Structure 1
């Protein structure tokens, strides 16, 4: 019994449980909508995509500056994180609404607003996670996304049973968790400066730009694949991404643990080892079983095993490049990391350009992905070796009336 309690406690403190619960709630809400809420299924699907924005944006604006040690010592971290979230609400809301308007022009304005409400509420929740992880404990910080995901599952089940719209399933849990965070708020006495709203986002602006560049490549990849190979390539890519879903959960957990730990994080961790185990397991499953490939997509059964092996190599290179990128971000100055991130995407986009010119089959596309990602690994190794020691930011030791305004 004691072993079981220790195991549960260790899982609760791990980012694996956070990522798994978050992914599970998204998948379950989509499935429930497909069974009981067909009129709002498209909105639920679009919402799942848009929820990546607050996750990525607040990690860049709050989590990464904290990890790199760029936040002045006198700043009230909770107020700073909240203000960074507040500044982003309007632009994120505009992007989300415009996306819904373009993708679903026949949907009513009220339905679009209802769909983007959870996206906007997720901004302060992500900010609360990062500030709590630094000012209190990782265990308490993990409760923010864990309780939100668990509450979303409960609300989703209730809405499905009563045949209500499911694109608002996360709202009750989000509001309850935000209320809980607000009741537990407080700041350390040595962190008294309230940073101006503009300064709150300026600290992480370089990381935000780097995240935007990464997102642009993620969007471009399936589009280019469909353009140069055909619709089947998009289906095969999507099927392989679904197969590697558990691997990506673990990979996200390992990188977020690095960012939460900052410069004290270790390279060899249990989560990182688990990520490698999942990589091998998924690769073995899709390579060794034609039945698994058929379950994922009929188009995948027509792809040679050797071609699929190239995609598995690409995922292995992606894991290494992701880990190197995060550790480089923690140790490098923001401008140097931004240059490194942009350079890595120049390499990646260069690979896509080569594909457009010479690739006409899925095999060529997967080979290009594997070779290009290996080049990105080499790029980050070289950039990390040439990284000079980072200068500590100027410390704020007195209360600045202008900053407190």
Structure 2
């Protein structure tokens, strides 16, 4: 009886052989996928293609300097050579350009701010830009720019902030220069904000300088730039405009190592004079051959960049004609400002990548 219950040695060996052979076949042809829900899939099944909704940040990074090997690799495991800057594979077109503007507000002060219609129109225009250099703000009330910024942030989730220089210019007609910026688009280093020293008072209004970085790309590849806010006195325009190359050079050599300088302001000169006679052909103007006042007569405001250093400027720019866009009368537009904002667009990627 006991002998009949024992398994035959041959049967045991056959059973073991079947298990071993099946295990080898399974290991060669199948894989186990998933943790919460185990799935068995053939090994030769093609990898799933990311859907259009897939966030590429979660898929892979690539070495943007290596054009020969396009195979994906994880960022954490890639041994980066010295000096290498990794770039996310998000196409640049997925991030909007930074719109930099300059606007002379024609004596913007308590009276204009107190007028509900004028204030709302100014705010609606300012919200269209990411970084805005403002000139011709009266210095009678130091809290005017903070109140303007607070009003810009009311009710729409905006996150604008500002930097502001001390009152400058003649005592009886002192003004403030300010730079407003959208914190969703740029970051500022407040320790790098300063007024250009002018011990000999060669310029009536001291230029204001601030340093920014694009907020959306990774920090190591985000565009950084210095912005110079300039207000030229019309009565001294030829002498003060002649100083602009020196101002741009001094900002570039101020010790921070920042080569991208955007000079924005009320220059009291057109692009032909500024570029050909003062700055040189290496400088690009955002506004070319177009008037920048509401009357369509003169070009006095602009943005200037060194085309040999600032590849981030994508070549689009010009006056923002709020008079025609909002279908205003001349008197309504003049209540806001006799000057039009001027704009230029810049890529968020350092080096224009």
TM-score range (shorter-chain normalised) is: under 0.3
Q: What is the TM-score normalised by the length of structure 2?
A: 0.24
Higher strand share: 2
Higher helix share: 1
